[in-house]
Amino acid sequence: MAVMSYRQALHDTLRAEMLRDPDVFLMGEEIGRFEGSYKITAGLLDEFGPKRVRDTPIAEEGFTGAAVGAAMLGLRPVVEIMTINFSLLALDQIVNHAAKIYGMFGGQRSVPMVIRTPGGGGQQLAATHSQNVELFYAFTPGLKVVAPSSPADAKALLIASIRDNDPVLFLENLALYNTKGEVPDGDEPAEIGRAAVTREGTDITLVAYSRMAHVALQVAEKLAADEGISAEVVDLRSLRPLDRPTIIESVKKTSCAVVLEDDWLTYGIGAEVAASISDGAFDYLDAPVRRVAMAEVPLPYAKPLELAALPSANDVVTVVHQTLDAVGRRSVGAH
Amino acid sequence: MATTSRKRPARSAKNAEELLGYYRQMLLVRRFEERTAQAYTEAKIGGYCHLNLGEEATVVGLMAAIEERDYLFTNYRDHGYALIRGMDPGRVMAELYGRQDGVSKGWGGSMHLFDTDVRQLGGYGIVGGQLPLAAGAALAVSYRDGDEVVMCQMGDGTTNIGAFHETLNIATLWDLPIVFVVVNNRLGMGTTVEMSSAEPELYKRASSYRMESARVDGNDVIAVRDAAKVAVERAREEQRPYLLETVSGRLRGHSVVDPAAYRSKEEVDEVRAQDPVAGLHDRLVADGAATAEGLAEIDADVHRIVKAAVEFAEKSPAPEVSSLFDYTYASPVPNDSRRLPADPLFPVGA
Ligand SMILES: Cc1ncc(C[n+]2csc(CCOP(=O)(O)OP(=O)(O)O)c2C)c(N)n1
Ligand SMILES: [Mg+2]
């Protein structure tokens, strides 16, 4: 067990997997000589050389598709797309090709590749550079989408993603790179498709992933400390497959839920979670499932506007209060 | 960037035999495609269905230039390539029929023929989609210091899409053993090359990527083969990409359902006058390499193969609905949603 940053966990895991398996190699813009826009790949070009740390031209469709083709021949490319916004230029290769090749050709060749890419607003990068479009990929059967929120999960899910035989979109987050946490030694992979209950509670379930799973934990601690409210936190970790049973089990216990998401509300991940709760725990629900999500605007640059548009811990507290008040349960915990 | 000129017919016995072999292959494509069109109008085949009619010399010449160990990626106009590359005609027809014995088990259809055994790694329905994939396959070959070559076929219209330019750039930068083949049938769907390409001499586009290229008569099977061999050799021996443009015609509409009303009679007559199958037939007879009767026998033989393919497809069962979730993921993971439309997410009342 060592304490390290999310960034360090990613870096060390990439390195360890490259040492373990010569078929694992990295591709992306500015990952070698420049050491990565967010320095995840720092030092790896020097250690592994340009064959295994391949700087690409600014051609997301071209190099992402090349990774798909290399994976079809059995290599295990790990592609870095500088931010998830730019993955839209590779949408055709990800959605129309990587996701389809195993099924559309009757299971003859799989596509064992990983696309690492950070999402995240809040850095004053304005509308085109602050989106969370993981939904597009989570919507697509044939892809797997994971979204670790802690350094430990970053490591365990990256190992799992690299060793998996399907295309995995590995969602990082700009705001998480410097966060720290305990990371186990060894190389135990996580199981893709399993959520984690990162905090147990009895009054309300908070469902979240990536950065918002952090916010959920902070809010839960604050609610416990200030008001004696016991919130359970379900960190999805995997957006496709979605671990519905873990969500349902939690809601059966708490009878109400709030979903936190960094993307837009309408048609978003939270909508799917809420619908799943309605399907699997309707009889247990004491209140409607509420969602805390980004304001539905292209994210503005000016700080006060950006802050207003992004979901915050305070927003979550407000919605938790509203939810518990609606069923007269806030007093339960408030003593 | 030479334009390969039409060669004089081969006179030696060996060459005559070779030409007869190509004739048989071209005829197989011709008869298979004609039969496919018929099956389509009988509603045995669904979806979009694009034929290689008019491209037989190109298909056969290209396939003669690559070896078993090489890889092939094509667009959706892929039946002919599959047949000549060595896929079983019955299994190709079964795929068009959407049957269990189809090369892609009925999951791909006409546009998505794939057979890992003959290293034809797809048929792709998205224009340009196969280019980055093929470059990636070539990257894998070079990563492993292999001696295979990747051939990546596309249409003329494909040279205008971003993936074409991104991939050609990457191929040169990374010294990939890949041959891009632009099958110029002078039409996208109904849009001509002149309408859509600022540089209508398509092979010249390669020069922006410092890639060697050539244009060849796509109606001449030997010329195509020889030009493609040069390209393949460059890729294999020197690890350098190459772009070959073949120029031929399209005898029918863009797909089976397209009456091609946008074409003038003169245009169609011109394409018909250059019909590569009829052309080779006449050339073989004129050269004394074969008699009309001998060629008719080949035709009868090919008809039998096509007939058997259709019978195989007719008999092959439809895929079991129970196999619907078998190919979503190669590595199974928990909580993968496997519900049919009327199934609940969770057991009701549980
Ligand atoms: C990205 C994309 N855009 C449009 C289409 C629709 N479409 C299918 S075939 C075609 C024409 C392609 O022409 P060309 O590349 O010359 O190939 P050909 O059909 O002549 O073999 C078009 C526009 C498509 N399949 N994919
Ligand atoms: Mg064309």
Contact B135 A66 (CB under 8 A): yes
* ipTM confidence score: 0.94
Q: Does the fold of domain A196-326 match that of domain A2-183?
A: yes
**pLDDT tens-digit readout, A6-59:** 999 999 999 999 999 999 999 999 999 999 999 999 999 999 999 999 999 999
Ion ligand 2, residues whose Cβ is below 5 A away = B 155-156, 185, 187
B104 inside 8 A of chain A by CB: yes
pLDDT tens digits for range B107-140: 999 999 999 999 999 999 999 999 999 999 999 9
Average pLDDT over residues A229-244: 98
Helix or strand (DSSP H, E) at A323: helix A313-326
How much is the pLDDT for B347?
Answer: 74
Indicate yes or no: CB of A248 within 8 angstroms of CB of B129. Answer: no
Segments making up each domain of chain A, as ranges? 2-183, 196-326
| pLDDT of res. A122 | 86
pLDDT at residue number B5: 47
By alpha-carbon position, which residue is closest to atom 12 of ligand 1?
B188
Give the pLDDT score at A331.
64
Query: Average pLDDT over chain A, rounded to whole?
Result: 96
Select the CATH number that applies to the domain covering A196-326 from these four: 3.90.226.10, 1.20.1290.10, 3.40.50.920, 3.40.190.10: 3.40.50.920
A278 interfacial to chain B (CB closer than 8 Å): no
- How close A132 gets to chain B, by Cα (Å)? 23
User: What is the pLDDT averaged over residues A292-320?
Assistant: 96
> Which domains are seen in chain B, by residue range?
53-88+113-290 (3.40.50.970)
Question: Any CB–CB contact under 8 A between A241 and chain B?
Answer: yes
Phi then psi dihedrals of residue B27, to 5 deg: -70, -35
The residue whose C-alpha atom lies closest to atom 8 belonging to ligand 1 is B127
- pLDDT of B2: 46
In angstroms, rounded to a whole number, what is the distance separating the alpha carbons of residues A66 and A149? 29
**Catalytic one among A29, A129, A172, A261?**
A129
Assigned CATH for A2-183: 3.40.50.970
Residues 6+ apart with CB under 8 A from A109: A72, A101, A102, B114, B116, B121
End-to-end distance of chain B based on CA atoms, in angstroms?
A: 71
Assess whether A60 carries a catalytic annotation: yes
pLDDT at A317: 98
For tokens 């931010």, name the residue. A83
CA distance A334 to A330: 6
Which residue in the list A35, A60, A80, A272 is annotated as catalytic?
A60
Whether residue A80 is predicted with pLDDT greater than 50 in this model: the reply is yes
What would the pLDDT profile of A256-283 be if each residue is shown by its tens digit? 999 999 999 999 999 999 999 999 999 9
Size of interface A-B (CB pairs under 8 A): 178
Measured CA to CA, the distance from residue B224 to residue B151 in angstroms comes to: 14
pLDDT of residue B149: 98
Q: CA nearest B19: which of B296, B277, B251, B233? A: B277
Closest partner residue to B133 among A65, A144, A242, by Cβ?
A65
Q: Is residue A129 annotated as a catalytic residue, yes or no?
A: yes
Q: What per-residue confidence (pLDDT) applies to A196?
A: 98
Asked if the model's pLDDT at residue A239 lies above 90, the reply is yes
The predicted structure's pLDDT at residue A18: 98
C-alpha triplet B201, B80, B33: angle, nearest 5°: 110
Question: How much is the pLDDT for A335?
Answer: 42
Nearest CA-CA distance, residue A67 and chain B, Å = 6
| Closest C-alpha to ligand 1, atom 3 | B127
Q: Which residues of chain B have pLDDT under 70?
A: 1-11, 348-350
Which pLDDT value is given to residue A334?
45
